């Protein structure tokens, strides 16, 4: 239908012509104070939980040790926050409701190094403009409390212990349009509880209680491990201790969170420190509802932090699963700008790359060490797992296993079992293929530990020989699982998944050590120049019939292929030849490997073969390299795999985030058979 068809088509054009619809000019005026506050309230106060957050912020800034929240109707009818902080003196009470009135900063210099939760001096004014508020406060050292009624401005003496109670009634009563946006009381209540929970997780030195309609909903006692005034605070650093934070995590999020998470403790450049806990991959959730990030004690939603954390989970977690964590960053306040957003939930880092890397490394360091070692430590067994002092950095060219040089948390086996690493990865692949190789594949990741004369064979013939935490292999089940016995009981290993991870980590390690920046002067120039997987030339190239697509990809992506250790060439209109393969994968089916790499590369545009894509490719390659189901393994090979798992980072999950092994303890086995011990 065109405009000529509409009866009022011509009519709409007319006022334009006559200028009748042009807006009338209105004089510029200063807005009344109240309206300014109401506008500000639109930014600060979205729902009752926003008020809760601001009031608890204020209580914490006032040095409260105990904060009690009382709500009616999900906070819509009433929010009252009671604290035992320093209070407000009588003459300043009225100022608290004024816009831009604050006791927390007085200059730009103060703002740049602000350490309090609040500083904008607008929360109480904003709340006061859209609700019926009162403040009852008695300043520390004063004998009298005073009550200020927001509506009438009446000020009168009252009785109260030192501290402050701020009461907010009928939120949005003067702005009914906003009130319509509120959800059910139950939903608003849940948001209020969440707001307190976020504070509580950062402040185990403060007790919290939440009441709704006269019923106690939550109570988190303040940490009192030592009966000192410094409960939960390290007297040397003045910072909250990990133990205190963990106690609070336990109280707020439950024992499961603690049991299924790992401690983070990482120091980065410029005084940056990351602590807290990160969930095991298996504890990940469908929703991102247990991701708590704090910067200098302030809860934030920050892409730099969440992405940094997420990136450390990249290849231990399926893309759509959400990790859980509670991470606390402490950073020089002058290196972070908290004055970005009225609700202060966003921050801006001076150097976001630095923060991203610190978070990534902090989380990665917690996740990477294989958990078999923890299990063994807990079992206090004869497995001779020892913590060792950080090894001198011998540089990437030493071929030390990744964990031995990248992770500050050092771990190593003191037992000779370290010597019987897999005789060679080759031993685990398909029955020795007739690849006409000149040399046996080199295994550049050979640990450079002083190898004892122990051979895998020796280790196996004597079942009593010290084994690693994953124990010694007993049998293979249905060509899929390895059964092993360790001190705790039975270990079940998904052999393909486990081996896939091992191969993957080795490939990754080769690629990253090869592509270290040349500025690192510990790397010889020739090593720094190589950004490729170690390759092995096939004596006789393997040819295969290729599709047009494969041939096109081969030609377009020769650089990417070379980086992966694959050299392919066209030897006919419909034939490709594989000339080199990654040394680690030389024993596999090289044609199948080449084809799946070509297929994956074909789906990427050539410029985007960045790290992420590379990892995907390596994962594909690892899957090819990993021992297949139904391949019979000797006990020796199985033991070799177990030992490698103990030494491979992230070996508890396959590349897709599924577990590679499970422990069935004797106790669990007993329970299966109703056997009392």
Q: Smallest gap, in angstroms, from Cβ of residue 347 to ligand ADP?
A: 16
Q: Smallest gap, in angstroms, from Cβ of residue 44 to ligand ADP?
A: 9
Closer by beta carbon to Mg ion, 164 or else 660: 164
- Tell me the helix, strand and coil percentages in the chain, rounded to 5: 40, 20, 40
Cβ burial, residue 489 (10 Å; 0-12/13-18/19+): middle
Q: What is the dihedral of CA 391, 395, 397, 401, to 10 degrees?
A: 40
Closer by beta carbon to ligand ADP, 54 or else 652: 54
Strands 261-267 and 273-279, by their bridges, are antiparallel
- Which is nearest to 336 in space by CA: 319, 354, 318? 354
Residue 273: both structure tokens together: 């420190």
Closer by beta carbon to ligand ADP, 126 or else 586: 126
The secondary structure element, H or E, covering residue 348 is strand 348-349
Closer by beta carbon to ligand ADP, 116 or else 534: 116
Say if residues 580 and 567 touch (Cβ distance below 8 Å).
yes
Q: Smallest gap, in angstroms, from Cβ of residue 72 to ligand ADP?
A: 20
3-state SS string for 285-305: ECCCCCEEEEECCEECCCHHH
β partners of residue 263: 277
- 104 contacts which partner out of ligand ADP, Mg ion, none, CB within 5 to 8 A by kind? ligand ADP
With H, G, I as helix, E, B as strand and everything else as coil, classify residue 215: strand
Q: Which of 37, 38, 50, 58 binds Mg ion (CB under 5 A)?
A: 58
> Which stretch in 52-60, 403-411, 479-487, 590-598 sits in contact with ligand ADP by CB under 6 A?
52-60
Span 383-422, contacts to Mg ion by CB under 5 A: none
Sign of CA dihedral 48, 54, 59, 65: positive
Q: Which of 87, 118, 204, 657 binds Mg ion (CB under 5 A)?
A: 118
> Could you tell me where the beta strands, DSSP code E, fall in 116-254?
132-138, 145-149, 155-158, 163-169, 207-212, 215-220
Q: Which of 68, 80, 134, 164 binds ligand ADP (CB under 6 A)?
A: 164
How many residues in the shown chain lie near Mg ion by CB under 5 A? 4
Q: Smallest gap, in angstroms, from Cβ of residue 135 to ligand ADP?
A: 7
Q: Smallest gap, in angstroms, from Cβ of residue 30 to ligand ADP?
A: 22
β partners of residue 661: 493
CA gap 261, 366 in Å, rounded: 9
Q: Which of 76, 124, 366, 642 binds ligand ADP (CB under 6 A)?
A: 124
> Which stretch in 18-26, 119-127, 497-505, 517-525 sits in contact with ligand ADP by CB under 6 A?
119-127
Q: Smallest gap, in angstroms, from Cβ of residue 91 to ligand ADP?
A: 12
- 567 contacts which partner out of Mg ion, ligand ADP, none, CB within 5 to 8 A by kind? none
Q: Smallest gap, in angstroms, from Cβ of residue 112 to ligand ADP?
A: 16
Closer by beta carbon to ligand ADP, 200 or else 507: 200
- 602 contacts which partner out of ligand ADP, Mg ion, none, CB within 5 to 8 A by kind? none
Residue 95: both structure tokens together: 């100022």
| Binding of ligand ADP by 58 (CB under 6 A) | yes
> Which stretch in 113-121, 507-515, 557-565, 668-676 sits in contact with ligand ADP by CB under 6 A?
113-121
Q: Which residue is at the shortest CB distance from Mg ion?
A: 118
Span 69-108, contacts to ligand ADP by CB under 6 A: 83, 85-88, 96, 101-104
Q: Which residues of 88-125 are buried (b: 16+ CB within 10 A; e: fewer)?
A: bebeebeebbbbeebbbbeeeeeeeebebbbbbbbbbb
| Binding of Mg ion by 123 (CB under 5 A) | yes
Between the CA of residue 650 and those of 223, 402, 449, 584, 616, what are the distances in Å? 34, 11, 21, 19, 16
With H, G, I as helix, E, B as strand and everything else as coil, classify residue 397: helix
Q: Smallest gap, in angstroms, from Cβ of residue 192 to ligand ADP?
A: 17
- 121 contacts which partner out of ligand ADP, Mg ion, none, CB within 5 to 8 A by kind? ligand ADP
Chain positions contacting Mg ion, by CB under 5 A:
57-58, 118, 123
Footprint of ligand ADP on this chain (CB under 6 A)?
54, 58-59, 62, 83, 85-88, 96, 101-104, 118-125, 164
């Amino acid at each position: 239908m065109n405009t000529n068809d509409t009866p009022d088509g011509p009519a709409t054009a007319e006022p334009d012509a006559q200028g009748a619809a042009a807006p009338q000019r209105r004089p510029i005026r200063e807005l009344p104070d109240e309206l300014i506050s109401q506008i500000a309230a639109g930014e600060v106060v979205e729902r009752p939980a926003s008020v809760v957050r601001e009031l608890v912020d204020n209580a914490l800034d006032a040095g409260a040790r105990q904060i009690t929240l009382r709500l009616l109707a999900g906070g819509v009818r009433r929010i009252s926050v009671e604290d035992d902080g320093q209070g407000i003196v009588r003459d300043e009470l009225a100022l608290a409701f004024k816009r831009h009135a604050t006791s927390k900063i007085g200059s730009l210099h103060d703002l740049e190094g602000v350490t309090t939760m609040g500083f904008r001096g607008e929360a109480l004014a904003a709340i006061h403009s859209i609700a019926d508020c009162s403040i009852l406060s008695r300043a520390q050292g004063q004998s009298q409390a005073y009550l200020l009624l927001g509506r009438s401005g009446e000020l009168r003496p009252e009785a109260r212990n030192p501290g402050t109670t701020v009461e907010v009634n009928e939120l949005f009563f003067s702005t009914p349009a906003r009130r319509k946006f509120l959800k059910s009381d139950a939903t608003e209540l849940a948001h209020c509880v969440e707001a307190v929970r976020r504070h509580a997780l950062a402040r185990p030195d403060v007790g919290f209680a939440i009441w709704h309609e006269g019923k106690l909903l939550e109570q988190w006692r303040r940490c009192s491990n030592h009966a000192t005034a410094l409960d939960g605070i390290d007297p040397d650093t003045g910072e909250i201790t990990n133990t205190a934070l963990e106690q609070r995590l336990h109280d707020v999020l439950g024992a499961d969170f603690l049991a299924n998470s790992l401690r983070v403790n990482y120091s980065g450049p410029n005084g940056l420190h990351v602590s807290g806990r990160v969930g095991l991959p298996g504890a990940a959730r469908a929703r991102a509802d247990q991701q708590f990030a704090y910067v200098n004690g302030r809860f934030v939603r920050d892409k730099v932090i969440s992405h940094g954390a997420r990136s450390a989970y990249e290849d231990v977690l399926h893309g759509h699963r959400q990790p859980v964590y509670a991470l606390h960053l402490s950073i020089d306040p002058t290196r972070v700008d908290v004055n970005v957003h009225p609700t202060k939930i966003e921050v801006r880092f001076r150097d976001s790359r630095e923060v991203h890397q610190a978070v990534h490394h902090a989380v990665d360091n917690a996740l990477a060490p294989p958990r078999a070692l923890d299990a063994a430590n807990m079992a206090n067994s004869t497995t001779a797992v020892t913590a060792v002092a950080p090894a001198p950095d011998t540089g990437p060219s030493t071929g030390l296993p990744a964990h031995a040089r990248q992770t500050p948390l050092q771990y190593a086996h003191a037992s000779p079992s370290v010597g019987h690493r897999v005789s060679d990865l080759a031993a685990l692949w398909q029955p020795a293929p007739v690849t006409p190789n000149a040399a046996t594949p080199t295994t550049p990741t050979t640990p450079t530990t002083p190898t004892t004369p122990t051979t895998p064979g020796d280790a196996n013939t004597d079942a009593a020989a010290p084994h690693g935490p994953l124990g010694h292999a007993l049998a293979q089940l249905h060509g899929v699982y390895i059964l092993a016995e360790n001190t705790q009981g039975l270990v079940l290993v998904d052999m393909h998944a486990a081996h896939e991870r091992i191969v993957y980590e080795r490939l990754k390690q080769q690629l990253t050590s090869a592509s270290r920046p040349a500025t690192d002067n510990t790397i010889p120039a020739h090593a720094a120049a190589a950004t490729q997987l170690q390759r092995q030339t096939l004596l006789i190239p393997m040819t295969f019939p290729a599709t047009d697509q494969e041939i096109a990809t081969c030609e377009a992506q020769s650089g990417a292929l070379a980086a992966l250790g694959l050299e392919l060439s066209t030897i006919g209109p419909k034939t490709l030849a594989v000339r080199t393969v990654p040394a680690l994968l030389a024993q596999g089916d090289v044609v199948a490997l080449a084809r799946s790499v070509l297929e994956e590369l074909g789906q990427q545009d050539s410029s985007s073969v960045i790290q992420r894509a590379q990892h995907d490719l390596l994962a594909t390659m690892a899957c090819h390299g990993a021992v297949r189901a139904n391949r019979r393994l000797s006990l020796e090979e199985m033991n070799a795999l177990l030992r490698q798992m103990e030494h491979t980072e992230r070996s508890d999950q396959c590349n897709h985030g599924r577990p590679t092994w499970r422990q069935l303890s004797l106790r669990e086995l007993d329970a299966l058979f109703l056997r009392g011990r």
